[in-house]
Copies of this chain bind each other. A is one copy, B any other.
Amino acid sequence: MKRKLLAATAVACVGAAWALDALAQAKPETLVKQRQAAMTLQGKYFGPLAGMAQGKLPYDASIVQRNAGYLDVLDKLPWDGFDPRTRDVKSAALPAIWNEPAKFREAQERLQSEVSRLVSASKGGDEGAVKAQIGALGKACGNCHENFREKQ
């Protein structure tokens, strides 16, 4: 009981705004902001890997392994943000996302599967295999953008 009271008090002090946000159904604009945040971070952690695979940045196995681990979480975060309620919010999302949901889902799964393979490869010591897998992951990103994102 004492613990419950402590918990309630602590949360009441600092969590009010978050809890209110969570209580209300998320606004479409919030969903778009959140999914774009996940894409931004995927770009942050994939970018250096692409540079390494192209030989434009020095290869650093520890950064590859760290970023692959981050991507393995980040690649799960954007998708619930593509709620049909967001269709009218300005973004680069193409209608194909909602018109071809199975294909969109398949593109997400391909991404997650290529990231998993990169996580595995990054734990081995074969730089060539890691670079090839970075290439395969980049193709999964590109494939989804090609079909579901407005040309940038």
Contact = CB atoms under 8 A, between A and B. Distances in A.
Q: 7 shortest A-B CB distances, which residue pairs?
A: A10-B135, A15-B50, A14-B142, A37-B37, A22-B47, A7-B132, A22-B51
B131 A11 contact: yes
A35 to B, nearest CB: 10
Interface residues of A, number: 56
Contact of A33 (B21, B40, B69): B40
**Most B CB within 10 A of own CB, among A21, A36, A128, A135:** A135
SS of A interface (majority): helix
Contacts of A54: 8, 11-12, 15-16, 19
Contacts of A23: 51, 56-57
A92 interface: no
A138 interface: yes
Contacts of A70: 73, 76-77
A8 B134 CA distance: 10
Question: What's the number of copies of this chain in the assembled complex?
Answer: 2
A141 interface: yes
Interface string A95-120: 00000000000000000000000000
B57 A139 contact: no
Nearest to A141: B14
